Amino acid sequence: MPKSNKTQIIEQVKSQLSEISVSALTQKITQLLRESLGEVRVIGEISGYKPAASGHRYFTLKDQESQIDCVLWGRKKLTFMPSDGMQVIVTGKLTVYAPRGKYQIDCQSLIPAGQGELYLAFERLKQELLEKGYFDQKRPIPTLPLHIGIVTSATGAAIQDMLSTLKRRAPHCQIYLYPASVQGEYAAQEIASGIAKLNEVLTEFDNAVLIVGRGGGSLEDLWAFNTLPVAEAIYNSEIPIISAVGHETDFTIADFVADVRVATPTAAAEFVTQNDKYSLLGYLDSIEEKLTDSIQSVLESYSQKVSQLENSYGFQKVSDRLHNYSQRIDEAEISLNRLILRNLSTAKTKLDGIEAHTKSLHPLSPLSRGFALLQHNSQILSSAESLNSYTEIEIIRKAEIAHATIQTVKPN
């Protein structure tokens, strides 16, 4: 603030001392403090820390010689749990609490001392990702996940707790573990690689979910989960991700980018198995009951429709026509049978006539009328042949054969 402006404000205060109210004076002091000092960054020890029911937090910041009251409003989120005796760095603006006439720091941020640079880096990355919209995308977690990927240390207590919980609550699930370092120089890259690799394996399943996390620790221990590579891997994942880093009071960038944040790795295993094997069996039973009722209802509905159709005029008309056609078929069958019998009788009569005529044409037919045949050496003698050439002949009648000797032959 330019020196002339400060002097002007001081002169105004002096010139109005005989007339100004306490409230107005307090306002001017507040204005003077804010404009002259701006934002302050103060290090000290917390004393008398009192969180109010409203969510606001009140405490005193002190050193060996002095102290100052501080207030951190409920809308300001903390990444740790403050306590008396803790060395912290407060960033905020000086103001005056008018009802008591005491100046205090209106805190914008509160970080543990000694970790200030890490917290500043955390806040910078958090603000950068917030502006890019990394915290806005939230994919739904499957209700009944059957394929669960886990990115964490293969030797820590966290994985043992998760596997134990998953085996007990959801033995039907398939578990995919990608072992990764969760702290150290290469931890961030290994975690990001694990997320990408499990995406390649699990993308084909609609009911897959990933758990990324580790047990509690200091800010340095959890730092891999506050890095850009991990944040980008979570943001670019096609599979929903649950962040389970540290304890209830530990917050990381991964928590903000992930689709769901839970307090601990064990809580993550419990979260994805909210519908455990017993719930699943109960769910299937209810589905079966609903399906049975639905099918029964549909069948009854169609049964009623069929009954209505059977009794409808249109259906009855079809039925009557079918009956008429059936009766006409019966009548046609009777007529056809009569016609066939008549034709058979006529044909039989014709056949009998043909048979009689055929029999009459048979060479032996005249024998039945008393005629006889003459033959010699099994050869029939025609009427044109003279008997003068034969001395013996055979006379064939219908019932007998006679052998005759020719004595004389006279012309007829």
Sheet containing strand 379-380, edge to edge, reads 379-380, 373-376, 392-396, 401-405
Over the stretch 214-248, which tens digit does the pLDDT of each residue have? 988 877 888 899 999 999 999 999 999 999 998 77
Q: What is the pLDDT of residue 238?
A: 94
Over the stretch 91-139, which tens digit does the pLDDT of each residue have? 988 887 878 778 889 898 888 776 666 777 788 889 999 999 999 989 9
Q: What is the pLDDT of residue 151?
A: 96
Per-run averaged pLDDT (10 residues), the chain, 412 residues: 61 61 76 76 91 90 91 80 85 83 86 71 87 92 91 92 91 92 91 96 92 87 91 95 84 93 92 79 81 88 80 68 82 90 91 82 73 83 80 85 86 78
Q: What is the pLDDT of residue 4?
A: 62
Alpha carbon distance 92, 119 (integer Å): 15
Amino acid at 40: V
Amino acid at 381: L
Q: What is the pLDDT of residue 322?
A: 79
Q: Using DSSP bridges, classify how beta strands 87-97 and 102-112 pair: parallel, antiparallel or unpaired.
A: antiparallel
Q: What is the pLDDT of residue 115?
A: 62
Q: What is the pLDDT of residue 241?
A: 96
Q: What is the pLDDT of residue 200?
A: 94
Q: What is the DSSP string of 322-339?
A: HHHHHHHHHHHHHHHHHH
Angle (CA) 365-370-374 rounded to 5° is 75
Closest to 269 (Cα-Cα) out of 155, 173, 183, 135:
173
Beta bridge partners of 256: none
Closest to 31 (Cα-Cα) out of 15, 8, 59:
8
Q: What is the pLDDT of residue 226?
A: 92
Q: What is the pLDDT of residue 102?
A: 82
